[in-house]
Amino acid sequence: MNIKIACAQIEIIAGNPQLNAETALKAIAQAKAEHIDVLLLPELCIPGYLLGDLWEQPAFLQDCANFGEKLIAASEGICIIFGNIATDNSKVNEDGRIRKYNAAFTAQNGKLIQGPLPYAFIIKTSLPDYREFDDSRYFHSLVKLQPELSPYKTVEDLLQPIKIVIKGE
């Protein structure tokens, strides 16, 4: 069986989730037209990267979630993996603000695919904190989350592959 995998190198505009989602939806449509089985989109392709305190705006977070839903809906007949911000409203970061993750979502046939985590997304493990990067200020990493989830499992246990079905297999 031949599987076609493509990486969409699309332009992402930081802080513009609507435009970024439109660009991603065009890439998904093109991938479907080319009979791609799995399409990889960039990290944080919905919100963009290096946004500073925009990460703390509830309306922005909701917009990112809503545009992520549009990508999930567009996954009929294709598997897409895309980056977006994910939130857990039941938890807070060390600064007392809502818990946020730099996450990768896997969607196929209009639904998210669940992996080994209790969330329907994969959480970035290593967050950069050098030069212009200040990720641990805004995001919670899988390394920090692991003791909360299962003190008897390692990060590696939680980083298991996501299983997808391609061409019935």
Per-residue confidence of the chain (169 residues) as pLDDT tens digits?
899 999 999 999 999 999 999 999 999 999 999 999 999 999 999 999 878 889 999 999 999 999 999 999 999 999 999 999 999 999 988 888 899 999 999 999 999 999 888 899 999 998 877 777 778 888 989 999 898 887 778 888 888 889 998 987 7
3-state SS class at 56: helix
Distance set, CA 20 to CA 26, 127, 166 (Å): 10, 23, 27
Mean pLDDT taken over the chain? 92
Q: What is the pTM of this model?
A: 0.93
CATH for 5-158 is: 3.60.110.10
